[in-house]
Structure 1
Amino acid sequence: MNAIVKKAWGYRHIVLVVLWLLYIINYFDRLAVLTFLPFIQKDLNLTPVELGQLASVFFFAYSLAQVTAGFLADKFGPKRIMNIAIIVFTLVTALTGAVKSFGQFLALRIGLGLGEGHHFAPACRTINNWFPIAERGRSVSFFATSWAVAPAIVPVLITSISFYFFDGSWRPVFYLLAIPGLIGIWALWYFITNTPKEMLEKGRLSQEEYAHIMDANSASSVEEQASAEKKADKKSNRIFLQDGYFYVYTVLLFCQCAVYWGTTTWLTTFLVQQHGLNLKEMGFFASAPYIVAFFAMMLGGWLMDKVMHRMKPVALIAYIGCIPVLYLLGSVEKGQTGLLLLMLLLAGFFVNLNFGTIYAYIQKRYPTEVVGGATGLANGIGQMGSFVSPLVAGYLVVVQADGSQDFSRVFLFFSLTAAVAAVCAMILKESKVKAAETGVREEAEQAV
């Protein structure tokens, strides 16, 4: 009985919770900009197109960083790369409070994208190292709830801080956000190691839990795989580079990111400009979709691990649900706050249902030694959807004669993007990649 308890809960879960908290800090920094975007727009006298450019340039830098982050995590260890990432985005966030012009803001958005972009792939690699294959769907889904929890609390929290402590000013909030960044740097140093073996040697991981993590992975241990990785040549990356389904997956991820970050980027501006909400009201409505998102992500992980054992059915439910909901959200008329809230909650559910399980796909399909590189490359390409979507949306906003803005075409665009994601999900193959499919797996094993 005691052994079962230790398997159910152990130090690996402390690692997961710390990674989760670190990513919430990551999201605090980027979401603070998006939350105050309509007010930054007013202060800096920006057009909707310029606003879209500022939102998109972050994701352009973020996407490029995703590619290098995965390979750097594989080469130098995920902890070191995450540490550099947190230092960079904490510094840039503090500087954002002093921005005075479009050009300065543009430069800081690029810096923030490069910093935050080097955080995700190393975090996924750490989860891959610390959790057995059978637990990865749920562990990645729990980690993914960080980008549901953060948007659920950030708008309410920072708009309240701005309203009650800084007379509605957004600038001091960014200085304040340096504090959680410093706490995150310490937490990473103290609680996280690259592999379970390092923590075992420190005496903070039990031999029983270590054996559970290693034995449950039917292949060799994380440390043995890392040793094999050093001996194998670059041909090992061809395992995913020559897999056609990898590219279908990246298109699906592109669409997922386009829908999520398109809606997240423009949500506060949509609420203020199309529905006329004030600072306090906007914070509440902007948080609503992400309260539901937390439960949607956890449900998606549970369905994948315990019921369907695949990502595809979860993805189809999510994307098919998004198609009508996103279209109707953009069509809600001003003053219909009850219907607006309902559509926001439904959007939060369907947009996020597959957002945890989608990242477990690579961990289930490819060998451990290439997970970091495959995750980084896929997310780098996929995050280009985060770059394209806010930019396109900026051109689709219709400025009315009275100065108000209409977002109906924007949400139609998001709906059509979800339809493309549904098609990709139907095509995708999820079984473990085999030597015959790529012709390189055996070569990599023979090189070892």
Structure 2
Amino acid sequence: MAKVINKAWGYRYVVLVILWLIYIINYFDRMAVLTFLPFIQKDLNLTPVEVGQLASVFFFAYAAAQISAGFLADKIGPKKVMYIAITVFTFVTALTGAVKNFTQFLFLRIGLGLGEGHHFAPAIRAINNWFPRKERGRAISFFATSWAVAPAVVPVIVTNISFYFFAGHWRPVFYVLAIPGIIGIILLWYFVKDSPKEMIDKGRLSKDQDIDDKNESPNENYSREEKRKSYGLFLKDFHFYIYTLLLFCQLAVYWGTTTWLTTFLVTQHGFNIKEMGFLVSAPYIVAFFAMMLGGWLMDKVLYRMKPIALIGYIGSIPVLWMLGSVENGNTSSLLFLLLLVGFFVNLNCGSIYAYLPKRYPKNVVGSATGLANGIGQMGAFVSPLVAGYLVKVGTNGTQDFGGVFIFFAAVSALAAICAIFLKENQVTTVANPLMNKEEHLN
């Protein structure tokens, strides 16, 4: 018989850490591409517009996958969906090292987007299954720090692997990145189940007062009418669509800056591969603390996302605007603005995803998250593409990103406007047959 784990209340933190580590592995794959993008651009002789297209097509596939991922997580359970996701994106990442031209790269980017796009919503659903409502803001904010930790460490790690082991070549690094993917599959298989109830039923987890007996199983069967009424809670909610537009803007700014930052540092400011690796990591070191601060403020101080969002978006406007106009050689100002961008752009990155679990009952959170993130990820699709057209290429091959960062600042302003109109009270209705007592009382 499998060993029973005592203190069931604490095991949810083990699950959270494992999900966090696996999502960092997810980011290793996509961030490695973005880190080496200026060098891939040179080797494959790509124009800025083609680079923007390659970045955007990933997010188009990623966005499409979000929708199916959410519904699959609710139907067959988040663990199975995450298994599929990790297997696909690990395989595609290894193939990236052999890419020869724009067309091959385009198809690989689509494959990577489809694989990684089936990871996020199931992870959120798993966290929602394991954590009570009062802790979800902090739990999801901690999970969201993977978006800060990975961009902070990946550029440094992959550029050093390339520099010290492969004489500055980028292709072999992608073969090496298959190893973390295999580790992620093993961690998911051994440590994670869809819910505490599943582990208790299998004798892997002891039962105590902190385990909610009413946690829904992701494979529970409900009638079509019950499901229709349940999904109507968010599909008929106007503020769900305001939130989705807010998420669109958030992801447009986050992934727009993340996609083009390495190219900006190399082509506009002339940094080499080692210098670029350090500078591109700097904003994400600050981002980790910004995300944790946002989650703490939401759960313990403000109890709402809106004020956190307003601080983040309004603060992003001037620092993004100024970042694009920093003069060459002014490294201290550049670093200072990069740190400010890391703080303001990421302050709401964790708490924004706690909005849906706090507003809607847990049985529809996977579907609501998948749909909202699927539409919202179109911001990540549009932003790098638009930015590619805004890059000014000089006669000597230099590139100017001033217009790009003005565009990111304008999108932040739109996000702030959305936040003003967003309502955050919990949606409850006696017409919802799946609403359990816990959802009414919290």
Do Structure 1 and Structure 2 share a fold, with TM-score over 0.5?
yes
Q: How big is the shift at 1:443? A: 5.3
Q: Is the 8 A contact 2:70 2:371 kept in 1?
A: yes
Counterpart of 1:97 in structure 2 is 97
Q: Per-residue deviation at 1:177?
A: 0.2
Question: Do 1:271 and 1:277's aligned partners in 2 also have CA atoms closer than 8 Å?
Answer: yes
User: CA, structure 1 residues 430+176, in 2 after alignment: closer, same or farther (shift >3 Å)?
Assistant: same
Instruction: Using the TM superposition, give the Cα deviation of residue 202 of structure 1 relative to its aligned residue in structure 2, in angstroms.
Output: 3.5
- Give the C-alpha shift of residue 232 in structure 1: 1.9
Q: 1:408 aligns with which of 402, 406, 417?
A: 402
Distance 1:186 1:445, change over 3 A: closer
Q: Would you say the 8 A contact 2:73–2:218 is kept in 1? A: no
Question: Residue in 2 aligned with 1:249?
Answer: 243
1:223 positional shift: 3.8
Is residue 297 of structure 2 the alignment partner of residue 303 of structure 1? yes
Identical residues among aligned pairs (%): 71
Deviation at 1:314, TM superposition (A): 0.5
> Match of 1:212?
210
Who is 2:341 aligned against?
Answer: 347
Distance 1:126 1:229, change over 3 A: farther
Q: Does 1:162 align with 2:162?
A: yes
Output aligned runs, 1:216-235, within 5 Å.
220-223=214-217, 226=220, 232-235=226-229
SS of 1:212's equivalent in the other structure is coil
Q: How many angstroms does 1:250 deviate by?
A: 0.2
Once the two structures are TM-superposed, the CA of residue 230 in structure 1 deviates from its matched residue by 7.6
The 8 Å contact of residues 131 and 213 in structure 1, kept in 2 or not, is answered as no
Give CA-to-partner distance per residue, 1:168-194, whole Å, 9 cap, x none.
Answer: 000000000000000000110000001
State the match for 1:17 in structure 2: 17
Is 1:385 the equivalent of 2:383?
no
CA distance in 1, matches of 2:322, 2:380: 22
Contact 1:329/1:411 (8 A) holds in 2: yes
Q: Are residues 1:425 and 2:419 paired? A: yes
Structure 1 unaligned segments of length 5 or more: list them: 436-440
Cα distance per residue 1:305-363 (max 9 Å; x no partner): 00000001110110010000100111111100000000000000001000000000000
1:78-121 per-residue CA deviation (whole Å, 9 max, x = no partner) reads 00000000000000000000000100000000000000000000
Q: How far 1:227 moved relative to its partner?
A: 5.2
2:232 maps to a residue whose letter is: R
Aligned-pair CA distance for 1:21: 0.3
Task: Give the alignment of 1:42-81 within 5 angstroms.
Answer: 42-81=42-81
Q: Structure 1 residue 403: deviation in Å?
A: 1.0
**2:440 aligned residue:** none
1:258 paired with 2:252, answer yes
- Report the Cα distance in structure 1 between the residues aligned to 2:389 and 2:287, rounded to whole angstroms: 28
Q: 1:382 and 1:165, CA in 2 relative to 1: closer, same or farther beyond 3 A?
A: same
Deviation at 1:203, TM superposition (A): 3.3
Q: Does 2:275 match 1:281?
A: yes
Amino acid at match of 1:105: F
- Alpha-carbon distance between aligned partners in 1 of 2:230 and 2:89, rounded to the nearest angstrom: 32
Q: Give the total of aligned pairs.
A: 430
The separation in 1 between residues aligned to 2:336 and 2:201, in whole angstroms, is 51
Contact 1:250 1:382 in 2 (8 A): yes
Counting only pairs closer than 5 Å after superposition, residues 84-163 of structure 1 correspond to structure 2 as: 84-163=84-163
Equivalent position of 2:232 in the other structure: 238
Please, which of 410, 414, 431 is the counterpart of residue 442 of structure 1? 431
1:222 is displaced (CA, Å) by 2.6
Q: Give me the whole-angstrom Cα distance separating, in 2, the residues matched to 1:202 and 1:142.
A: 28
The structural deviation recorded for 1:206 is 2.6
1:6 Cα deviation after fit:
5.3
> For 1:79 and 1:229, how far apart are their aligned partners in 2?
23
Which whole-Å CA distance do the structure 2 matches of 1:413 and 1:377 have between them?
A: 26
User: What is the aligned counterpart of 1:321 among 315, 322, 326?
Assistant: 315
1:41 partner letter: Q
The answer for the alignment partner of 1:199 in structure 2 is 199
Contact kept? 1:18, 1:187, Cα under 8 Å: yes
Give distance in 2, aligned partners of 1:53 and 1:418. Answer: 22
Q: Distance in 1 between matches of 2:224 and 2:143?
A: 28
TM-score by length of 2: 0.95
d(CA) in 1 for partners of 2:188 and 2:196?
15
What is the identity, as a one-letter code, of the residue corresponding to 1:241?
A: L
Cα deviations by residue, 1:209-243 (Å, 9 ceiling, x for unpaired)? xx31317xxxx433499455787232321110110
Distance 1:357 1:225, change over 3 A: farther
- Give, as a single letter, the amino acid of the residue that structure 2 aligns with 1:381: I
Q: Contact 1:225 / 1:369 at 8 angstroms: preserved in 2?
A: no
Q: For 2:211, what is the secondary structure of its paired residue?
A: helix
Distance apart, 1:367 and its partner CA: 1.1
Structure with more of its chain in helix, by fraction: 1
Task: Tell me which amino acid in the other structure corresponds to 1:182.
Answer: I
Match of 2:362 in 1: 368
Deviations 1:259-295 (CA, angstroms, capped at 9, x unpaired): 0000000000000001000000000000000000000
Cα deviation code 1:13-44 (max 9, x no counterpart): 00000000000000000000000000000000
Alpha carbons 2:363, 2:434 under 8 Å: kept: no
How far apart in 2 are the matches of 1:338 and 1:123? 38
The alpha-carbon deviation at position 434 of structure 1 amounts to 3.4
